Amino acid sequence: TVQGVVVKAKDAPATIESIVIPDPGPGEAVVDILTCGVCHTDLHYKLGGIGDEFPYLLGHEATGVVSQIGEGVDDVAVGDRVILNWRAVCGQCRACAKGQPQYCFDTHNATQKMTLEDGTELSPALGIGAFAEKTLVAAGQCTKVDDDVDPAAVGLLGCGVMAGIGAAINTGEVKRGESVAVIGCGGVGIAAVAGAALAGATTIIAVDIDPDKIEMAKKLGATHGVNSREQDPVEAIRELTGGNGADVVIEAVGRPETYEQAFYARDLAGRVVLVGVPTPDMKIELPLLDVFGRGGSLKSSWYGDCLPSRDFPMLVEQYKLGRLDLDAFVTERIELGDVEAAFEKMHGGKVLRSVVEL
C-alpha cells in the first residue's frame, strides 16, 4: 500500500490513509508522484460540491515519474518525468474529428479502481488523485516533460496555471503589442497575466479588489493595476488604453458584474474571454447595438483550451528560458499531512499555491 489523502464523507477532514494501487490495465500507467499543488477544486470535492462519490482521493496538479505501464502504452515509458492532465482526449469523437480536441466529450481515465485497504473503491479527484505516493491514471493523462526542472513549479501547469495562461495564449490569442486587461487576479487571473506577458502584450492591466493581488500581478508582468473598489474598472481600462478599451479582456472571477465589465472594457473588435465559472442561474444582458457596432467576440475558456501534448512541453521550455516565472506561483512547500491546513489558508488569499512534495 501507499499513503494518500482521502475525504471519506461530505466535509469530513482530509486524512492520510493506506491505499491499494492495482497493476495498470491496458492503456494505463502508475505514476510515482513527486509534487501536487492544492487547488480550489480539491476543496470543492471535500465539501461535496462536485459529486457525492465519497471517498475521494484528492489532488490533481501533479508531476511524477512513470513506474509501471500497462499493455499497449507507447507514448510514455517507465522512468519518464510527466505532468498529469485531467483530460485524456479520445481522438475520435465529433470534437476531436473537427480538430478541436479541447472540447472532446469522451475524455477518459483509468478504468481500474484504487481502493482503501478494506476494498472500498476510491474516486480520484478529476480522475487523478495525486495527493498520494503513487496513483493510477490513463496513459493519455501523462505528458512527458524535461526532468531537469523543479517539479513543484512545472506541476502547476496541470491545472489552474494552465487555465490562466491558456486563456491568454490559446483562447484570447494575445499577440505582440496588444493590450490585455485581466479582471480578477487570483491564481487563475495572475496566470493569465503571465500568459499575456509571455505572448508579448505591452499593456497588461491587472484588476482586483485586493491590493496584494494587484502587487503580485505586477511581479508577473502587469504594467498597470486597477482597484475596482476605488475606481470604475471599465473607465480605468479605457483610460489606460488611450480611451479605447483593451484588445483582450479576460474575466477570472465568475460574477455577473465582472462579466459585464469585461464586455464593456473591450476595444473595437476586442476579444472577451470568460474563465471564471458561472453558477447555473447567472445571466447578463448584452446591448445588441454595442455588439453590432463594436464587434469582437465573447469566448469561454475551459482548461485554457489546452492540448497537454502541445502546451506542457512548450511552457516548460519557456520556464527554462526564464520567460515564464512559474516559481512565483509556489508560495509554500508542504507535506501530505498538511493538505487540510492548506485548505484553511486558501480563504486568506495570501497563498497562490501550496505544493505537496513527496
* Residues within the interface to Zn ion (CB under 5 A): 39, 41, 89-90, 93, 96, 104, 106, 159
Nearer to ligand APR, 12 or 209 (CB): 209
336 residue type, one letter: L
State the residue for C-alpha cell 502587487. 215
Q: Which does 96 bind (CB under 5 to 8 A by kind): ligand APR, Zn ion, none?
A: Zn ion
The answer to whether residue 184 forms part of the interface with ligand APR (CB under 6 A) is yes
Dist CA 250 CA 229 (whole Å): 19
The answer to whether residue 102 forms part of the interface with ligand APR (CB under 6 A) is no
Own/partner pairs, 291-298, CB within 8 angstroms, 24+ separation: 294/266, 294/267, 294/268, 294/269, 294/270, 295/268, 295/269, 296/266, 296/267, 296/268, 296/269, 296/270, 296/271, 296/272, 297/271, 297/272, 298/263, 298/272, 298/274
The answer to whether residue 40 forms part of the interface with ligand APR (CB under 6 A) is yes
How near is the Cβ of 327 to Zn ion at its closest, in Å?
Answer: 19
The answer to whether residue 187 forms part of the interface with ligand APR (CB under 6 A) is yes
Classified as helix, coil or strand, 19 is strand
State the residue for C-alpha cell 476531436. 96
Question: For residue 170, what is the DSSP state?
Answer: I
Residue 257, all three cell numbers:
458584474
How near is the Cβ of 248 to ligand APR at its closest, in Å?
Answer: 16
Nearer to ligand APR, 254 or 313 (CB): 254
Q: Which does 276 bind (CB under 5 to 8 A by kind): ligand APR, Zn ion, none?
A: ligand APR
| Residue of closest CB approach to ligand APR | 186
Q: Which does 184 bind (CB under 5 to 8 A by kind): Zn ion, ligand APR, none?
A: ligand APR
Nearer to ligand APR, 142 or 262 (CB): 262
Nearer to Zn ion, 85 or 261 (CB): 85
The answer to whether residue 160 forms part of the interface with ligand APR (CB under 6 A) is yes
CB atoms within 10 A of CB 338: 17
The answer to whether residue 254 forms part of the interface with ligand APR (CB under 6 A) is yes
The distance from CA 116 to its chain's CA centroid, rounded to whole angstroms, is: 28
Kindly give the pairing relationship between strand 297-300 and strand 266-274. Answer: parallel
Kindly give the pairing relationship between strand 123-124 and strand 134-138. Answer: unpaired
The answer to whether residue 276 forms part of the interface with ligand APR (CB under 6 A) is yes
Q: Which residues bind ligand APR (CB under 6 A)?
A: 40, 160, 163, 183-189, 207-210, 213, 228, 252-255, 258, 275-277
